[in-house]
Structure 1
Amino acid sequence: MPSAVAKVAHAAPVAAPVPAAAPVDALPPVAVASADPSKWGRVDEEGTVYVRTADGERVVGSWQAGEPEEGLAHFARRFDDIRTEVELLETRLASGSGDPKHAATNAKHIKDSLAEAHVVGDLVGLQARLDQVIAHAAVALDHAKHARDEARAGSVARKEELVTEAEQLAEESTQWKVAGDRLRQILDEWKTIKGVDRKTDEQLWRRFSKARDTFNRRRGSHFADLDRQRSTAKSRKQELVDEAELLSESDDWGPTAARYKELMLEWKAAGRAPKDADDTLWQRFRAAQDKFFSRRSSVFDERDAEFAQNAKAKEELLAEAEKINVKGDLDAARAQLHKIQEKWELIGKVPRERIRELEGRMRAVEEKVRTAADAQWRKTDPEAEARAAQFRERVEQFEAQAAKARAAGDKRRAEQAEAQAAQWREWLAAAEQAVASR
């Protein structure tokens, strides 16, 4: 028995989908042709295979290898393969994992091939299903384009923000390390931003590159100026060190100590020299200063010991002076005080914090002797009574003038006379007190 050969056409290949799709709405399923192929086609007595279409029957091949049902099932399975490919396109579009452009291309290719496809199945339903896939792919393409446009706009906006920040840092910032670190961070982020068209990206990059160059020039100029300032500071501090070392041998304690204070102020005003030089010069400056003040302290310690001994000697004289008796022989008391004063002057200086105390005690003794002498003089003054009588007479004169003026109605002259009488009355009281205290 001669072998029969089935004449069939090959279906068009379907390209692999690329992620970028938008979901599609659910579509009514296309029936599996192999389940009941006789519903969609037939095989005549001569083995010719037909498929039913909207325009009538169309020959899709011949079947000579077996029973007619087997031939229908064979061509129906080919239809099911195409249906499966269409369902795969639908699934990928629905999940968003497929490339809508590739899906549309494959769907159109399959649709165009249906007119001559050697298959048995629901060609009308499958064509409608392909039309839906193509429509949804178009929508997905539009969505993808909109998403790309939004992403591109976002990328452009972000790069513009970074450029603006870089330009501001380049023109204004003096925080050199912080700004330099931030510019490097901007560059790192810049490299991660994609999707900007070449022309816009080049324009933004030129602005960013210019900002970095501007910042680097400003920073370089700043540090060059700083180097010059530090060189000047080094020279000035060298001069101060030389003077400090020269003064370290001075014995003119007060003026030299004052000059060291001035040198310290000038040192601070000179600014910072390069670190190594600054540290070395400072150590020399401090060593010279310490040397002078150490010598001064040694001298002052000896002087303080001497002053302490002087204070002790004056305390002994004060103890003697404070025992002087002013109620007895006043001439002897004054002679004794005079001898003590002579010794006092010969002793010399005492610690500064003891001066007020010791001088105060000596003045108290001197005042006690002087007060006693004054009291004695007042008691022996022959003119005290005469002065009291004179003051009394003047009081009486002004009182009489006041009474006469008041009687004459001259109020102003009366008040003037009464005021003068009051003044002389006070002096009279003091004179009478002096006489009474003898």
Structure 2
Amino acid sequence: MSGIFGRLFGPRWQHRDPSVRRQAIDRLDASQPRDRQRLEQLANDSDPDVRQAALARLEDPARLLALCDDQHSPELHAQLVALLTGQAGNVPLAERLTLVERVDDRDLLTRLALQGDNQELRLAALARLDDEPALIHQACENSIAAVRHAAAERVTSEEGLAQLARQARRDKHVARLARDRLSRLHEDASQAEAQRIERERILDALEQHAQHAWEPLYAGRYRHLMREWERLPDLATPEQEQRYQEACLRCRKVITDHEAQHQAIETADQQRNDAEAERQALVEALEESVASLRQGDSLTQQDIDSLLAHKRLQASRWQALSEQHVPSQELSQRYTQSLEAHERIRLAWERLEQQSDALREGIEQQDNARLRSVMDNIDWPSDLPPSPLLRRVKRQLSQQPVDPAGPQQAERFAKDLDELEKLLERGAFKQASRLHQSLRQRFDTLPADRRQPLQPRLKRLGARLAELRDWRGFVAGPKRNQLCLAIEDLAEDTTLLDAELDRRHRQLVKDWKNLGDAAAERELSSRFRAASDHIHERLAPWRKALDEERQRNLEAREGLCDQLEALLDNPDPGADPDALREIRDRSREQWRRFSPVPRDHAEQVGQRFGRIRHALQALIDQRAQEIATAKRALVEEARQLQHDKGTAAQRAEQAKALQRRWRELGRAPKGEEQALWREFRSLCDTLFAARESERDDRAQRARDHLDAMQALIERLDAWQPSSSHDAGMLEQAIAEADSLEPLPAGRRSEGMRRRWTGIVRARRDRLLRLALSEEIQRWQQLRPLLERHLDADAQRLEGHEAVSIEAMPGLDDDMLNAHEQRNAARQDPMTAEQVAETLSRLRVHLALLAGGRVERADEPLRLAIQVERLNESRERELSKAGELHDILCGILATGPVPPALWAREAGELDSHLAQLARLPTS
């Protein structure tokens, strides 16, 4: 339908004219589905009036809320707000609360929270708001306190809290909440920053500590930094945690390396102790060998050979041990004495061997004089048993046919025969041969009656020894052939190195010598000797170079000894034992490096180096003992610090100074160093623990003071004085605040002080206003008395007799004195000019007190009053209430006042009093 027909027969709600559509809305029924759809379409009409009229007929907020998803007209929002807030319609509260849960529009929620007819509805709308500016607006502008407080609780950002503190003038609770949360936020940020700075400080200290070398306090300092790190309440960042772990690894590596070095030192000390014990056993063996030789009945060549072989073996072992560890002075002396005893025995035996032929000739010729002369030349030691030859000589000289010790010799001879039989059964040819030879020599010295029973057994054992010799010869023949072929092959082998060639050659020669005379043949011996000489010729250059190297090593060892002796001759009294220990260890390494040396000089230079090392060790021990004494003194000082009167922090600083002195001293002897260090560290840990405890107590007291100050601020902020007599409560609160000072430094403390200062200033101003108001009220109560005085003044000025006015009850002393002065002034009145001048002065003073305007003519008077007030303020503290009281007392005391003068002055006095009553806080 179009054109005119469309206009004539079309629906009126779709008419082109908005007014017709507006009229058609009144005929639509919202309860009918079709009409409701038409109304919903008209709610989106282009004409605002049509939209508003259509929306007014729609009272279902759920349908309107669905329309909001498609259109956003102001009328639709207004109707929806009216329905949801309860301004229109009769929608139940429960349904409206359900619909609010579906609303997402910020503006709509804001209006619901501001205009809702129910607190629960407003809180539901507020809960849907997430925008902080909207929450700040609600906290400042909402008319319901609970909604304001709920909105303020959800503001969390620093900017939002600052804005809320500035704008929340309607609700002091909201402003105070915002300020408190902002203060806590600042305090938390300050604490977080302080903790971050503290964590960085600990990290820097730990990283620097990881770069230091080990010292006695290294592990303790590391543990202390770890405890400080773990005590921080906040969590470290990943970067900080990584730095912490790396620094800890480096610190633990330093500690582990020191422990390994300490273990190595302990191992070296153990080796030194083992070497000392072995040297002890070595010296005891040498001494025992000499002692056993002296305890025997007879001395034979076999005994001498055994003694000298044992001495060479022990001397070689002593030299090897001395190259590794220096012997003690006592052991060195005992070793030297043992060597001297062996040497005396060897020299005595050599002299005996040289004179043996002369002794035998003297025995054969029965020449006792010659025997005595030879015995004097031999000078046989008295503590040595005689040889068989010497025994015969002594018997010859003493003419003793029978030795008194014959039975004992025969018994010992029998025991030796038993021992020889055991050796033959074991096949110990060499020992059996030496023992058999000794027995044959001793057999001649036995008494004749003792030889007969022992001779058959000696012959039998001699025969068994001969059989064993023959058997060895049978076995040794192939062995000799084998050794001969081996040395000839070795002599022709040109592929071996000189050192290996020398080693194999020495082994073959040793094996050849071990065969002794078993299966000895001239031809094999010549072949073996020829091959050995050939090898000697080949090794001659190598041995020459080796001898030169040994000589150089000997010179180097002697030079090392010279350097060490020069050091010992002029020791530094303050030398560090660690430096001396390093010199000792390095000299030991150099000594070992300068090896081998010529054999004939090895023992001499080794003994010299041993003495030097012993002296160096003695110097080290001396310095270490001096350090131990100094460290014991430090331990005593640390123990005395436990009882000092200073604070724990001062004692901890003194303990740090002691620790620095401890590090500068060096190391005490090994076992004593550890014991002293454990005791010293325990005492220092106690001092540091006391410092930490004092810090914790001080921090707890600071927190308690902050909490008490916060509670006092809140209490004073909530208190409003109602009378000037409440000033005592304010002074009591100020005294309580002074008792809590000093507060710990920080933003929270500064904020508390600023807030406290503002609150105290505000309460003082209020008390001042109350005092002024009370003074003015009391003055108003005195108006009847003043009026009676004015009437009496007028009568007196008119010529009547002066009348005394009775005082009102309840006057204070100052007012009562002023009243009496007024009565007295009427008895002896001042001139009118004096009265006018006095009232003018009081009026100008009152104007200055009230901050009012002063006429130009009164400017000199104003300046004079200001100068007087300034001079008076230097002597005593002035208060406005006191000045006002003095001025009012002066007005009451001044008289008699003419009515005209009072009429002129009273207006300005009342104006200044009224202005003073509404005096602003300043």
TM score, norm. by length of structure 2: 0.22
More helix per residue: 2
Q: Which structure would you say has the larger RCO, counting Cα contacts within 8 Å and 6 or more residues apart?
A: 1
